[in-house]
Amino acid sequence: MGPRPYPPSQVIPEADIRDADKVRAKLTAEGFDGAITLRLVDATTKVKSARDPVPTAYYEVWGLLPIRLGGGSSARYYLTAEQKLQIECNIYSLQTGKLLWTGTSEVMQPHRSWKLRYRMSPTLSGNA
C-alpha cells in the first residue's frame, strides 16, 4: 500500500518531543524507516499601495463632474499585505541517520493554502 505518514503527536509524547534520544528510540522501536522535517526559514509581509483600477468616480453619473471642473483626482488607493513564507524540508533515513533529500519552498499568501491542505490530506494519509 505504500508509506503511511504520521504526525509526531500520534507517535511521540509531547513531553519527549525535544529529547532527540527519546525520539530516536521511539521511532526505532515503532519501525519507522525515515523522518521528514520542516523548518520555517523566513517569513515576510510587504505592505503595498495600489491604485483602484476603476476610479470610484465612474460608479455614479455625477462622480466625474468635480474632476471635469478641476476639482482634483478621483484616484483611490488601497493597501494590500503580501505574505511569503520560506520553508525548508529535509528527508532522513532512520537506518543510516543520513540526509536523503533537502529542498526549500516559498509559499505566497499562506492563509489561502488551507483548501489545498484540506483536499490533500486524504491523499497524504493513504485514505484516498
Is 103 or 126 the better-scoring residue by pLDDT? 103
Identify the weakest region by mean pLDDT among 28-37, 78-87, 99-108. Answer: 78-87
Does pTM surpass 0.75? no
Enter the C-alpha cell of residue 39: 523548518
Spatial separation of the C-alpha atoms in residues 20 and 105, rounded to whole Å: 26
Span 92-115, pLDDT tens digits: 999 999 999 999 998 887 766 666
Enter the C-alpha cell of residue 92: 532522513
Enter the C-alpha cell of residue 22: 527519546
- The runs of H, that is alpha helices, within 50-110 are 65-68
The letter for the amino acid at 93 is: S
Spans of all domains in the chain: 52-81, 82-128
Is 88 or 1 the better-scoring residue by pLDDT? 88
Spatial separation of the C-alpha atoms in residues 83 and 109, rounded to whole Å: 5
